[in-house]
Amino acid sequence: METRAQEGDASIIRRQLLWIAAILVVAGAAWFAWTWGQETGWGNADRAVARKMDLGEKAFVAGRLDDAANYYRSVADRYPQHPQETQALTQLATVLQQQSRSQDALNVLQRLDKELVNRADKADLAAYTELQIGKVKKDLGDFAGALEAYGQVRVQHAKTDWAGEAQSGIGEVLAAEGKYAEARAAYGQLIKELPGGFLAAEAQTSIGDCFEKEKNPKAALKAYEVVLRKYPAAVWDTAQARVDALKKELETKSGKTSKG
């Protein structure tokens, strides 16, 4: 009797285990189906891309940069023909730059640049991408490559604000190399091409910075004073601060010279 009772208990346990296994299989299948549906937009590419781009933006705003990069990369890799693919690559490059992953960002930007060739409807994005390539190459210490990238923007987007941005970039690269006279010439060229507005004021400020790095405070002071005199509509706290500091420095030096 005891043996039969044990066999009965074992049978019940087996049935319970089978039920549990069946429930787990069904739950797993449901989870897989739900995950697949969410991942693919339930078979709708537009829905899937919109969801991933939205999640990427939310992750980016929240500072979860790894998650944001994964969402954007997923769109770019899974839906290479989708209209949002170029935006996903742009956002991915931005995230990677914020993470100081310059080489990875450069790889993404160069991929995007190739995809934008001969895309008249994406001319502005192409110019922006080429400018970012120049910036990242500068950050990586590839000054020749950066100058080449900026030069391409100057040729391909001549007489536009993009060309002005590129000329500013050329000045920044030359200054980073310690070629301050050449940098000042580059900034001067920008001012000639776009004499008014933000870029010109920024270039004039950079000229003052170059003079400071060349240990020429008098010339730097004059350059900064041009900013304050010529671009009154712009709020140039940096220029005003440098004017005040340089005047004080020159007065101190003048006082020491008089005493001597």
Residue 146 and residue 135 in contact, taking contact as beta carbons nearer than 8 Å? yes
> 29 CB contacts (<8 Å, ≥6 apart)?
none
Is the pLDDT at 258 greater than 50? The verdict is yes
Taking each helix axis as running N to C, give the angle between helix 161-176 and helix 143-156, from 0 to 180 degrees, rounded to the nearest 10: 160
**What pLDDT score was predicted for residue 237?**
78
Integer CA distances (angstroms), 10 to 15, 22, 40, in order? 9, 18, 44
Integer CA distances (angstroms), 90 to 39, 105, 108, in order? 21, 9, 8
CA 156 – CA 16 distance, rounded (Å) = 72
> 171 CB contacts (<8 Å, ≥6 apart)?
183, 184, 186, 187, 190, 203, 206
Is the pLDDT at 128 greater than 50? The verdict is yes
Is the pLDDT at 5 greater than 50? The verdict is no
Taking each helix axis as running N to C, give the angle between helix 198-213 and helix 237-259, from 0 to 180 degrees, rounded to the nearest 10: 30
CA 163 – CA 70 distance, rounded (Å) = 33
Name the nearest CA neighbour of 245 among 220, 226, 227, 211: 220
Domains of the chain by residue range: 47-99, 116-177, 187-249
**What pLDDT score was predicted for residue 100?**
96
- The token duo for 159 is 């007489």
DSSP-derived secondary structure for 42-87: TT-HHHHHHHHHHHHHHHHHTT-HHHHHHHHHHHHHH-TTSTTHHH
Question: 17-34 as b/e, with b when 16 or more CB fall inside 10 Å?
Answer: eeeeeeeeeeeeeeeeee
pTM attached to this predicted model = 0.78
Mean pLDDT over 112-132 rounds to: 93
Higher pLDDT: 226 or 258? It is: 226
CA 238 – CA 240 distance, rounded (Å) = 6
**What pLDDT score was predicted for residue 234?**
61
Confidence class for position 32, pLDDT limits 50, 70, 90: very low
Higher pLDDT: 21 or 44? It is: 44
| Distance in angstroms between the alpha carbons of the first and the last residue of the chain | 120
**What pLDDT score was predicted for residue 259?**
55
Average pLDDT, the chain: 86
DSSP-derived secondary structure for 176-225: HTT-HHHHHHHHHHHHHHS-SSHHHHHHHHHHHHHHHHTT-HHHHHHHHH
Question: 128-145 as b/e, with b when 16 or more CB fall inside 10 Å?
Answer: bbbbbbbbbbbbeebeeb
Higher pLDDT: 16 or 53? It is: 53
Mean pLDDT over 202-217 rounds to: 96
Confidence class for position 119, pLDDT limits 50, 70, 90: confident
Confidence class for position 30, pLDDT limits 50, 70, 90: very low
**What pLDDT score was predicted for residue 238?**
79
Is the pLDDT at 193 greater than 60? The verdict is yes
Higher pLDDT: 42 or 155? It is: 155
Is the pLDDT at 97 greater than 70? The verdict is yes
